[in-house]
Structure 1
Amino acid sequence: MDELFKGIADPVRRQMLDLLARQPLNVNQINEHFSDISRQAVSKHLSVLEDAGWIKIYQAGRERYGYLNKTAFYELKDWLQEYLDMDRASLRNDHGVFLEKTGYKKGDPLTYPVMLQAMLSKDREFDGLFYNAVKTTGIFCKPSCSANPRPDNVIFYLQRDDAEKNGFRACKRCKP
């Protein structure tokens, strides 16, 4: 997977993939589209794409042609699909965060991953459902507060009173 990302990290290589999506091209034809870089640089970019698995090169006489390797695209799609499926679940529940695979419906018990994701994304939908208290400052906030505490310094409370009983005071920014 690291090699796939390395291959598409450079915008020139992504342009090369766009060109090869239309049809296989030889190195000279690809070079014509990149007048601002040398032929050697074009060859180097093609080599990186080939090593990463995005393209394959075949020799036809003296010409070398590049064409897309669909396996790499499916590999990336499969990796992304888990996150895209999570997004569908969060859209169904009308929340702007990636929720755990089981999703979250109003009224369900809140889990740590759901509360953490809601806090990190500043999701107003969760305001009033729980409070996040910051151990290092002694303050508790709404999930949508503009404060950015480190996740490992946060304790979640379902009730405001519980946070106050444990010695936390209300945030002056979000006034929970």
Structure 2
Amino acid sequence: MEELFKGVADPVRREILSLLRLQPLNVNQINEHFGDISRQAVSKHLQLLEESGWIKIYQAGRERYGYLNKTAFYSLKEWLDAYLQWGEQSLENDHGVFLEPTAYEKGAPLTHPVMLQAMLSKDKEFDGLFYNAVRTTGIFCKPSCSANPKPDNVTFYLTRDEALKNGYRACKRCKP
């Protein structure tokens, strides 16, 4: 996986992949596209793309053709699938973190990881279900508050009264 990321780390290599997405090209055709960098630099990028598995080079007489290696793209897709759950999540509800559908069902007991993810993503759906109190400031907030406390300094309470009993005051921004 590390080699795949190394292969697409440079914008020139990503542009080469975009060119090859349309059709296989010989090395001269690829070079012509990059007028601002040397032929040797383009050749080094092609070599790195081949070594990292993104492309394959086919020798036809004196010509060398580059073409995409589907295996690399499927390897990357497999790795991403664990995070994106292809086709299952709507981008409308993108909170910047990935809560698995089974991680929380309404009415189920809240776990620390779910509360932490809800606080970090500022998820309004969790407002009123719990409160996050910041030990360093002595303030408690709704999960959707715009404050950005350090997660190590946060304690979670299921009720507003619990937070008040433990010496925290209500946030003046989110007014929990």
Shared fold (TM-score, shorter chain, > 0.5): yes
- Structure 2: how far apart are the matches of 1:16 and 1:123? 39
Query: What is the aligned residue count?
Result: 173
Aligned to 2:148: 148
Q: Counterpart in 2 of 1:71?
A: 71
Q: Which residue of 2 aligns with 1:107?
A: 107
**Distance in structure 1 (CA, Å) of the matches to 2:136 and 2:47:** 50
**Is the partner of 1:21 in helix, strand or coil?**
helix
* Deviant stretches of 4+, over 4 Å: none
Unaligned runs of 5+ in 2: none
Q: State the match for 2:43 in structure 1.
A: 43
Unaligned runs of 5+ residues in structure 1 are: none
Residue 78 of structure 1 aligns to which amino acid in structure 2?
E
Q: Secondary structure of the residue that 2:155 maps to in structure 1?
A: strand
Corresponding residue of 1:132: 132
Give the distance between the partners of 1:87 and 1:134, measured in 2 at CA: 37
Query: How many angstroms apart in 2 are the aligned matches of 1:86 and 1:31?
Result: 35
Cα distance in 1 for residues equivalent to 2:12 and 2:48: 11
User: 1:9 corresponds to which residue?
Assistant: 9
Against the structure 1 CA distance between its residues 127 and 87, is the aligned structure 2 distance closer, same or farther, given a 3 Å change threshold?
farther
Over the matched positions of the two proteins, sequence identity in percent amounts to: 78
Deviation (angstroms), 1:166: 1.5
Between the aligned partners of 2:103 and 2:113, the Cα distance in structure 1 is 11
* The 10-residue stretch of structure 1 (55-64 or 68-77) with the greater mean CA deviation from structure 2: 55-64
TM-score by length of 2: 0.89
Scaled by the length of structure 1, what TM-score is found? 0.89
